[in-house]
Structure 1
Amino acid sequence: MMSKQGAALQTYNNELVKCIEELCSKRDEVNRQVQQEEEEKARLQHDIRILTEKLSRVNESLARRLASRAELDRTIAETEAAYMKILESSQALLSVLKKETGNLARATDPRGVHKDH
């Protein structure tokens, strides 16, 4: 009777040891996966930090360039407006000069002088 119980106990013991070994093996596998993912997480956080710094630098540069472009747009618009005023003034001046030249030509035309006599 005792030897039968002893044999059963031995069987249970063997199975328990086997189960514990399987659980330990599974735990080792999960632990290995955890380490891999922790390493990947660290790598990704490092990449994010680098990309965040790059993004910040690009945003600063972009803001400066946008301000620069806006300033250039304003300067171009003001210059073009001033140039158009110069063109209009030149046109007006030319008209006045042509009129005056015409008047002078009539006044100094000998035929015009003879007509007055």
Structure 2
Amino acid sequence: MTQQAAALQTYNNELVKCIEDLCSKRDELNRQIKQEEEEKERLQHDISVLSEKLNRVNESLAQRQAARATFNRTIKETEAAYSKILESSQSLLSVLKQEAGNLSRATEPRRKEH
């Protein structure tokens, strides 16, 4: 019977050691889970902050793009109007030169032809 008792004691010791090993592994796993949950919270917070920044940048970008479109339209319209002014100025100058020439001829003394 002492041999059986010794075997039982050995089994009991091994069983206790296995249970302690499992508890130790569980504790390590709990530590890793807690660490990853904290990392997950940090990442979710970072995502939230970055999403807010992204929204602000998108809004600002949309406003700037609209302003740029307004600038482009204004520049295009102004250049077209300026081009028309240049054409009108050229036409006016041409007419003025022609009229000045006509006036000069009209005011010149007439030469007598022999």
TM-score by length of 2: 0.96
| Counterpart for residue 81 of structure 1 | 80
Out of 92, 109, 114, the position equivalent to 2:111 is 114
d(CA) in 2 for partners of 1:115, 1:5: 160
How many residues of Structure 1 are paired with residues of Structure 2 in the alignment? 113
Gaps of 5+ in 2: none
Identity %: 75
**4+ residue runs of structure 1 moved beyond 4 angstroms?**
none
Shift of 1:115: 4.1
Comparing both chains, which one has the higher relative contact order based on Cα–Cα distances under 8 Å and sequence gaps of 6 or more? Answer: 1
TM-score by length of 1: 0.94
d(CA) in 1 for partners of 2:24, 2:111: 130
| Counterpart for residue 59 of structure 1 | 58
Shift of 1:3: 1.2
RMSD, aligned CA:
1.0
Distance change in 2, residues 1:103/1:25 (3 Å): same
Tell whether 2:48 aligns with 1:49.
Answer: yes
